[in-house]
Amino acid sequence: MPTISFMADEDLKFMRLALELAKKAELKDEVPVGAVIVQDGEVIGRGMNTSIGDHDPTSHAEINAIREAAKLIKNYRLKDCSIYVTLEPCAMCVGAIQHARIGKLSMALRTPRRVLAEAWLISLVSKKLTIMQKLWVAS
């Protein structure tokens, strides 16, 4: 079963980057979700929702970040990487995270409507996945 814990200071730094991407998505009238992929303390992938502008239902923040990271390291397996997402991933994105072999998922907000995604997350991902969460309060 995945480990669930709260974020450390370094995790918060990367989550802030994901939140900046979510704000950019919102300014483009997209669903405000951002994602950042980190390997060895370096950002290797960034993504925000672009489904509306791209006319592509798969252009979620997580997918876009995974694509960028995979191209950068020239490998579709993102072992030893972490993904920071502003909202709990949908079932499609959970599947992509699993297939990319990302080891740690940090999410800023969980929603009650995401019960299906959580069930997929627990049943499909490797036992080594660490889930980190932090509830953010708008100021």
Task: Say how far apart CA 123 and CA 45 lie, in whole Å.
Answer: 26
* Token pair for 122: 């627990």
Q: Which of 10, 42, 62, 88 is catalytic?
A: 62
- Phi and psi based region of residue 29 (left: phi greater than 0; alpha: psi -120 to 50; beta: remaining): left
Residues in the chain: 139
Task: Say how far apart CA 63 and CA 57 lie, in whole Å.
Answer: 11
**Is there a catalytic annotation at residue 20?**
no
- Residues classed as catalytic: 62
